[in-house]
């Protein structure tokens, strides 16, 4: 962001950077930066707290009034990371025992996803598939994990793109199920560690790796920390 700020300013566009790592902002010296001591992944501090987020943005836009720079100011409040606390989300009971557990789980969670979509008005699901296709896509990953070659499992798109949409589906609905707004990486850990769908994606990734599928197709199905 700091580098892009310099590029845009050189083209005549005024910029503001919300800094998450202060030493980087000090070293890169963007024209205007507001450092926010928040957990990574929460640039505006508090999810679903529009008042707090507007305060952050107001402080940031106020930097445009400075006649010269570089300017680096600190937002006056700090939010400590609570990533160590596990995310508590109640998963639905089995409904259709004839379906793979991961597919049944995804179907049972659809109402929570719909509520999250109404509440936020946006979604990251849709790079390759929409929410209606999530259960079938998870079923394809289950088949891959069980030994079906990835190209014959019925995936609707490239494995990494489909895995992204499945993960986004779960992480977005987690906000509706959690007792409190999740930490920066808590929803990711919940998806991979506690859900059947997360286990299906990880299992398919291992199976593709072991069968020597093309490296990019399986490696980028999960974050690097899950490699």
pLDDT in tens, 215-225: 999 999 998 77
Which structure tokens are listed for 80?
């400590």
CA dist 141 and 218 (Å) reads 11
CA dist 54 and 75 (Å) reads 12
State the pLDDT at residue 66.
Answer: 84
CA dist 33 and 186 (Å) reads 27
What average pLDDT does range 92-111 have in this prediction?
Answer: 94
Instruction: Write out pLDDT tens, residues 161-214.
Output: 999 999 999 999 998 888 766 666 788 888 999 999 999 999 999 999 999 999
Q: What ranges do the domains of the chain cover?
A: 2-74, 101-226
Cross-strand pairs, 33: 17, 72
Least confident of 59-63, 75-79, 109-113: 75-79
CA dist 100 and 42 (Å) reads 35
CA dist 44 and 34 (Å) reads 11
What average pLDDT does range 50-57 have in this prediction?
Answer: 93
The SS3 call for residue 95 is coil
């Amino acid at each position: 962001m700091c580098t892009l700020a310099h590029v845009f300013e050189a083209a005549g566009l005024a910029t503001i950077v919300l800094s998450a790592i202060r030493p980087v902002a000090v070293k890169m010296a963007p024209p205007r930066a507001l450092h926010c001591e928040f957990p990574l992944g929460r640039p505006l501090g508090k999810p679903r707290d529009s008042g707090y987020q507007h305060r952050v943005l107001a402080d940031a836009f106020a930097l445009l009034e400075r006649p010269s720079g570089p300017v680096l100011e600190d937002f006056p409040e700090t939010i400590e990371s609570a990533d160590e606390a596990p995310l508590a989300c109640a998963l639905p009971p089995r409904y259709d025992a004839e379906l793979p557990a991961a597919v049944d789980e995804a179907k049972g969670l659809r109402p929570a996803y719909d509520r999250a979509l109404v509440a936020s008005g946006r979604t990251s699901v849709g790079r390759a598939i929409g929410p209606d296709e999530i259960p079938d896509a998870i079923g394809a990953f289950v088949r891959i994990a069980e030994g079906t070659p990835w190209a014959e499992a019925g995936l609707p798109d490239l494995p990494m793109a489909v895995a992204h949409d499945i993960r986004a589906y779960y992480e977005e609905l987690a906000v509706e199920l959690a007792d409190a707004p999740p930490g920066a990486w808590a929803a990711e850990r919940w998806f991979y560690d506690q859900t059947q769908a997360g286990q299906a994606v990880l299992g398919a990734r291992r199976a593709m790796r072991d069968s020597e599928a093309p490296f990019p197709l399986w490696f980028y199905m999960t974050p690097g920390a899950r490699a």
